Structure formats: structure tokens, C-alpha cells
Structure 1
Amino acid sequence: MEVIGVFNAGVTRYLDETILLLRVAERPINDNPEVYVVPLYHPSEDRIVLQEIERKPEYDFSDVRVIRTPERNYLTSMSHLRIARSTDGIHFTIESEPTLLPSGPYESYGIEDPRITLIDNIYYITYSAISELGICTSMITTEDFITFTRQGNIFHPDNKDVAIFPASIGGSYYALHRPSCSHYGQPEMWIAESGDLKQWGNHRHLIGVRPGFWDDGRIGASAVPFEIEEGWLEIYHGADKSNRYCIGALLLDKHEPWKVIARSVEPIMEPETDYELEGFFGNVIFPCGALHEEGLAKIYYGASDTSIGYAEVTIEAIRANLGLKQLNNQL
């Protein structure tokens, strides 16, 4: 196997450290042009095996991430999660061994895109669990980033981009999520409610794609929401119909987070640099985490499914992007 990308990291603070939970994507090294080799985790044997797939004309190889056959689809790479630590938020030491590997029948294609929420000294890590059964959202908890407890699937397939709010609101917990619709609807953002952070219900549609805008293809939560004076601020991702991924902002009501106050008309950030435009899957910026500190949103984002970038944007600039000053004047 060879590493092809380190990207889409969850982020949090633990003691005096910045913790990144990296998504590390690997693919088999293959010198045979007659076949494609894909990695699969076999839960019954607790090991990863490499499977050869013939390059048949009826198979779809158009997406570098996926191989589509009449029988089933395969991922061309497999991801695990690995911790990186820093005292300044810029220079990181990456642990030498994987922190979390695929485990069980729902992770046979790997684990991806973690988000980290701190509630009452417990870190709740949500992530995409991929298998031939679909994409579930699973959860792992930790108090020290040394010992981890698997909590199982909290959203059934196909569902991803789950970000849990970092506090109870009116006695309930809330999470943003993105179900995939097979026949009706679009890949859009929903909100769900829970009393125990494990069983989720009262699902409500939150925002949809917007024809002609930068997010007219698909949208989903990115960072864990954080609280500002006007409400809950969510840094979210949106893609257009050409799969160009940008970052926008969403403001939700402080007491009724299913109510939308404001949304970015223009993105707050879009692919511009070489490493954002070119890579394993180019023209993509995709954050899974941001820290709200010192009047800034400190955003750690995946760049072209290859590397991790870091950007700072002031909360005032996000307010201006959302038109909040104008909104406050009108109120």
C-alpha cells in the first residue's frame, strides 16, 4: 500500500495541544496494467486483503475514487484515522501508527472524514463508515485521545457529514447530517435531535442546494457549529454541478437551531492555489474542523483529497459575508 492523501481532518483542543484526527488514504501498489487492485477489510479475518478487478469495458472507471461494476461498487483506496499533535496549531507531529483502523462489517471499505465535538469532558468523534452495505455514520468517544470506545452506528445508510453541536439546547442535543436521496430530493443538509447523543430523531430539512449558486450540486456540514453573539455559526461545504467544492457559512438560531437566520450568498473561501486545484480529486477545499479562538475561525481543510491546508478568517469577515451588519441595522 502507498499513501495517496492525508486530508479532511477533525480538529479539537486537548490540554495544551491542538489535535488533528487525520484521514489517511492508501491504495495498493499495482504494476499490472491488465487489472485494478482494490483494498477490502475482511471483518471475519480482521485483516485487509487486496482484490484484483479486470479492466472490463462495461466497468466504469471514470471517477478515480470509485470503480463501478454491475455487481457492486469498490473504492480505489482505503482510509484510516491517525492523530497529529501540535503546540502551536501549525507544526504537527504525526503518530507513527494508525489510531483507528476499520473494524466490523460496516467499515469494510474504510473510515473517513471525522468531526470532533467536546461535551462535558468527553470527545464525541463522528465519522463515515463505508462498506458494500452503504455509508453509515458511526461514533467513537474518548476522554484522552489514548483510549477509544466505539459507540456503533448512529445514522443509517446512506448518511454522512454529521456534526454534533457542542452543547445541549433546550434540554436536547442536535446534529447536522446529510442523507443521500436515491429517487427524490437532493444531497442537502438536515438537522436531528437526541436526548442521549446516540438515538437520533425529529429529523428536519434545514437548507437545500441553490440553482445557479456555488452550492447548486450538493451541500453538507463541515465544522462542528460554534456559538457567536447572533447564534450558532456553521462552516459548511458546497459543490456545484462540476464538483467544485467551496466553503460557506450558515447562521442558525441560538435557541431553535432548526431556524436559519443567514447563509452565504458568495463563498467565504474557494479553491485558488495549485494544491487546491490539482490533486487526487482536484478543485476541492473541504474542512472537517475549525477552532473558534481569538475572534477567528481557524479552519483546517482538505485540499484536493491530497493534503491539509490551514486558513484563518475573522468572525467579523464571516459576519460581513452573511450580511449580519445590514441585518442588525434592519432589526
Structure 2
Amino acid sequence: MNIYRYEENPIITPADIQPYHKGFQVIGAFNAGVAEYNGETLLLLRVAEQPISDDPNKVLAPVYNTGTGKIDLVELDRKDERYDFSDPRVVRDVTQNATFAYLTSISYVRIARSKDGHRFTIDNEPFIYPSNEQEIFGVEDPRVTQIGEDYYIYFSVVSPKGIGESMVSTRDFSNVTHHGMIFSPDNKDVLIFPEKIGGKYYALHRPTMKSIGTPEIWIAESDNLLYWGNHKHLLGLRQGMWDSGRIGGGAVPIKTDKGWLELYHGATMEHRYCMGAVLLDLEHPEKVIARSAAPVLEPEADYEKKGFFGDVVFSCGVVVDGDIVRMYYGVADTSMACAELSLQEILDSLVYE
């Protein structure tokens, strides 16, 4: 498959963004939802900011305070045997079966804008910021579905109660209406189809199983985009393959003559993240027609292999122009990149069920 990675890659890095919080540093600008609005390509960046600690033996964990609307810092001692600091992203509580206790950064959404899809200017202020108790550890990995004049933006919300999916909508990327949580914990990687199918809205989602089962893709339906039901398992892991560890939705499904094309992410047990594709029936999207045997994009470039969490390519949105699929994707949980692929070549690469 022919892949053209932009010469400017990575197109946005943490160095391009001024921290919003005093005493913090930007450690990630990645996993952006994508929209086209008013003649521009918009990247809804997940911006991760980390408090700067003057003491190497201390970790400062940021937590949004719903009372003050500001960020509080919880000081943790690296010598405290209750906590596991081995993962740079999270602090785990070993007394509670190593469940995560705090994140080491806090994420929010900031908009980057471009006329040509290559060079972006970044807003100074957050667009979506933590606002309630479901979001005290941050908001992450937004996706955008346009239906008519409305842009529905949904994203993971993180708190001690778990990770769920909340949604807002806008018509101008300035004024926002909050719709609350649409998928309860533990769930993420939600993708809403861009039109009704048989009179229903459809969405992909990825429950995270703690008792039995594995992290795989499900499909649900709704009459109003807010209340989802008739959940069905859609796509599973494949042992020994590039998507053997976990899978989840990536870009908003693309309507083609052959079916709905979903570009999804898959990871191995060693946490190597790639992008692949699955083709769903146009009239019955719960039916899988074909699927990638090999990734359509995998971490090969240096900026994809090295970073805050290396060996990761992770797309939350694309722009389709004829046969060209412009895939914007996060690299190494650090920066944003873009690659162009052929829609027809992706479809031709699929293995039919």
C-alpha cells in the first residue's frame, strides 16, 4: 500500500503549544478529532499538561477541583510503597490491585486550524475543559461527527469512578452545548456514524472488561444520539496478529459504495499500536463484510517509534477527498502527524469474510 507521510511530520508537537496552566509543561499534543469548518481543517487536539516538580523524588498529580474550577496538585512520594510509578502516564495503587490512583498529567481539548491541512495555528485557550466530577482527571481523545449543521464532539472523561464517554455539540466551534455522559464507565473509543441508517443512529464503542471478556468493539443504536441501546458485539481480537491485545474505533466511519469503512486501532500485548480497517454492511452495520489482515499504517518513522509512549500510531479522524484519505494521527502519545492513503487501496487490501 502506498503511504505518503507529510514531510512536515510531526505537524504539531508539544513545543508548538504554550501551557495553559502556570507551572506546567505540555508533554503531549496528540489524538486529535478532525473536522472541516468554514474552509479550514480543524484538529481538536488532546493537550496533556504535566506539573513541573522541583523535587525528583516527588510526583505532582493534577486534579480538577469542581468547587474552584482550578487544578489542585496532589504530592506523591516516589518512595511510598503504596504506589507504583513505573508507568509514566499513571500512578497505580498497589494496595488496590494496582488500579490507577492518579494521572501524571491532565488533558483538555484545544483547537488547531489550517487552510492547507499541513500548517496549523493553535488557539491560545482550551475549547473543551474539565467541568464536572466525571472529568476531574481530564478529557481525552475527542472525535467529531458532523450531522447537518451540527458537529457532535465526544471524548473520554476520566475520574476515580472510571472512564466514560461524554458529548458536546457546536455549530461554530465557539458556542458549545453539553449533553452529558452518553456511555458510562468503563467505556471509550466511541464513534458515531455520520447519518441515520434505517431510521436509527449508530455508534461504535469499546467497553473495558474487568471481570470476563476482552477490550473489543461493540455497536449500539439510538433514536436521539443521547440514549444508546441494543448493544451488540461487532469485532474481536485476533491471536498472534497486530490486533491481538486490544482494539477500538479510530476515525468516524466512511461511507463507500462497498460499505461503511471503519479505520480502527489495534495493539499487541506489547502495546504496539497500528491502524487497520474493517468494512461494515451499509444497511446493517452490525454485519462485518471484510477486515484488514495487515495494518494499513504502523509505527515505522522515528517520530512514531520514540516519544512519551513509543511504537504508537493512533488516529481519531480523517479527511476524505475523492480517493485520498488524509489520516491525522497521534504518534507515540506525544505529537500529531498526517499521512495520505488511497481509499481504493485500503478497500482492495481487505480480506472478505
Q: How does 1:1-331 map to 2 (within 5 A)?
A: 1-55=24-78, 56-69=80-93, 70=95, 73-323=101-351
1:289 Cα shift? Answer: 0.4
1:15, CA displacement in angstroms? 2.2
Q: Deviations over 1:30-79 (max 9, x none)?
A: 12122211100011221111110112234211211110113661111110
CA drift of 1:129 comes to 0.5
- Cα distance in structure 1, aligned partners of 2:279 and 2:256: 9
CA distance in 1, matches of 2:206, 2:313: 18
- Cα distance in structure 2, aligned partners of 1:243 and 1:225: 24
Q: In structure 1, how many angstroms separate the alpha carbons of the residues matched to 2:208 and 2:338?
A: 29
Q: Which residue of 1 aligns with 2:9?
A: none
One-letter amino acid matched to 1:206: L
- SS class of match (2:83): coil
- 1:169-201 Cα offsets, whole Å, 9 max, x none, are 000000000000001000000000000000000
How far does the alpha carbon of each residue in 1:258-317 deviate from its partner, in whole angstroms, 9 at most, with x for none? 000001010011000111000000100000001121212110000001000100100111
Q: What amino acid sits opposite 1:198 in the alignment?
A: L
SS of the counterpart of 1:98? coil
CA distance, structure 2, for counterparts of residue 185 and residue 48 of structure 1: 36
**Which residues of structure 2 form unaligned runs of 5+?**
1-23
- Decide whether the 8 Å contact of 2:293 with 2:351 is kept in 1: no
Deviations 1:122-149 (A, max 9, x none): 0000100111110010001000101111
Q: What CA distance in whole angstroms lies between the structure 1 residues aligned with 2:141 and 2:347?
A: 27
Tell me if structure 1 keeps the 8 A contact 2:191–2:252: yes
Distance 2:260 2:348 in 1: 16
Question: What is the alpha-carbon distance in structure 1 between the residues aligned to residue 69 and residue 40 of structure 2?
Answer: 33
Structure 1: which amino acid aligns with 2:53?
N
Aligned-partner residue type, residue 133 of structure 2: P
| Stretches of structure 1 lacking an aligned partner (at least 5 in a row) | none
Which secondary structure does the structure 1 equivalent of 2:195 belong to? Answer: coil
Distance in 2 separating the partners of 1:297 and 1:186: 30
- 2-side partners of 1:233 and 1:31: how far apart? 48
Pairwise CA distance, 1:110:
0.3
Distance 2:253 2:109 in 1: 22
Aligned equivalents of 2:282 and 2:270: distance in 1?
34
Aligned residues: 325
AA aligned to 1:39 is P
**1 CA distance for matches of 2:244 and 2:65?**
38
More relative contact order, 1 or 2 (CA 8 Å, 6+ apart):
2
Query: Matches of 1:2 and 1:87 in 2, distance apart?
Result: 28
Structure 1 CA distance, aligned partners of 2:309 and 2:319? 26
Q: Determine the C-alpha separation between the residues in 1 that align with 2:56 and 2:326.
A: 43
Structure 1 stretch displaced more, 193-202 or 53-62: 53-62
Residue type of the partner of 2:110? R
**Alignment TM-score, normalising by the size of structure 1:** 0.96
Structural RMSD (CA):
1.1
TM-score using structure 2 length: 0.90
Please state how far the C-alpha of 1:323 moved relative to its aligned partner.
4.0
| Alignment check: 8 A CA contact 2:166 2:180 kept | yes
> Runs in 1 of length 4+ with deviation above 2 angstroms?
none
- Measure the CA separation in 2 of the matches of 1:234 and 1:296: 15
Distance in 1 between the 2:218 and 2:320 partners?
A: 23
